[in-house]
A and B are shown apart, each in its own frame.
Chain A
Amino acid sequence: MKIDRPHPPGDDALSDEDFDRLSRARHRDAVASLSPRVQAQLQQRLRASRMPAAGMRRRHPAWGLAAACSLAVVFAFGLQHRLADRDTPVPASSVAASSNDNGELVATLDEAPDLYLWLASDDANRILSE
């Protein structure tokens, strides 16, 4: 990468001190021309690069949150398991919801039980398979 030395008009030979002074002056001018937002971002990045451990410290709260959520999940499933296992009276709505045999209950009596028995016989099987 080529670096252009600052050349003040009319002066071709600069000492190292002059070159350093002029470079710093140009740097100050360049920094001063940046918007406050960009300057803030640069300062933030500078601080981050100087403190490598800070990034690690910032991660700790997030991992702590993750661990807390893990515990919450374990607690939730455990609680749910205990509630399901507990021998509490079942609400009437649960009985209706779990009773998938409502239609079957009526169907049991709607047709002759012997018809259903016959349908399970070999006779019916042969007819149904044809």
Chain B
Amino acid sequence: MNRSRPVVFAFVLALAAGSALAAPPAPATLPAWDQLSPAQRDLVIAPLRDRWNADPQARTRLFQHAQRWQQLTPEQRARMRHGMGKWEHMDPQQREAMRALFHKMRDLTPEQRTALREQWRKMTPQQRREWVEANRSPAD
């Protein structure tokens, strides 16, 4: 048993060495956008290109959103990413409700928003569904 220890030890080490060499190198820190090659930039924006080409009707909306994003301050962009994080965890029904509430609230005064919040809080799930249906947000 004792004689086999070095062999087992060597075998484990050899496995570790093999896996270390076989494992892909850790992702290197990528350079800034301007330093990326054209091929690398194409890869990064490929999903957006697909989205753009797949839905001609959405191009105006996508472009307007890009223009709006351009106007945001770095602090607003950080908050926006925070909001996006919440959005990602919502189900379609919840997203529809939040979209309707957002479009409704942005035209309201602070007092009216408070009133709507209070009204929303008292609604039953069925009443909320009906309210969302009645206040469905228009396409941007």
Residues of A within 8 A of B (CB): 55, 58-59, 62-63, 65-66, 68-70, 72-73, 75-77, 79-80, 83-84, 86-90, 92-99, 102-120, 123-124, 126-128, 130
> Residue among B23, B69, B84 with the most chain A CB within 10 A?
B84
In the bound assembly, the distance between CA atoms of A92 and B44 in angstroms comes to 9
B115 within 8 A of A: no
In the bound assembly, the distance between CA atoms of A22 and B111 in angstroms comes to 121
Residues of B within 8 A of A (CB): 3, 6-7, 9-10, 13-14, 16-17, 20-21, 23, 25-28, 30-31, 36-37, 39-40, 43-48, 51, 58, 62, 65-66, 68-69, 72, 76, 79-84, 86-88, 98-99, 101-102, 105-106, 113, 117, 120-121, 140
A109 engages B65 (CB within 8 Å) = yes
In the bound assembly, the distance between CA atoms of A99 and B14 in angstroms comes to 33
In the bound assembly, the distance between CA atoms of A102 and B51 in angstroms comes to 11
19 contacts between A and B (CB under 8 A): A66-B9, A69-B14, A73-B20, A89-B37, A105-B45, A105-B47, A108-B65, A109-B66, A110-B58, A112-B65, A112-B68, A114-B106, A115-B87, A118-B105, A118-B106, A119-B82, A120-B79, A124-B101, A124-B102
**Which residues of B sit under 8 angstroms from A112, Cβ to Cβ?**
65, 68, 102, 140
**Which residues of A sit under 8 angstroms from B81, Cβ to Cβ?**
116
B123 to chain A, nearest CB (A): 10
B3 engages A72 (CB within 8 Å) = no
> Residue among B3, B17, B69, B87 with the most chain A CB within 10 A?
B17
In the bound assembly, the distance between CA atoms of A97 and B106 in angstroms comes to 38
A102 engages B25 (CB within 8 Å) = no
B43 engages A65 (CB within 8 Å) = no
A72 engages B98 (CB within 8 Å) = no
**Which residues of B sit under 8 angstroms from A70, Cβ to Cβ?**
13
A72 engages B62 (CB within 8 Å) = no
A126 to chain B, nearest CB (A): 6
**Which residues of B sit under 8 angstroms from A130, Cβ to Cβ?**
120-121
**Which residues of B sit under 8 angstroms from A96, Cβ to Cβ?**
43-44, 46
B44 engages A65 (CB within 8 Å) = no
B48 engages A106 (CB within 8 Å) = yes
A99 engages B120 (CB within 8 Å) = no
In the bound assembly, the distance between CA atoms of A69 and B17 in angstroms comes to 7
**Which residues of A sit under 8 angstroms from B39, Cβ to Cβ?**
92
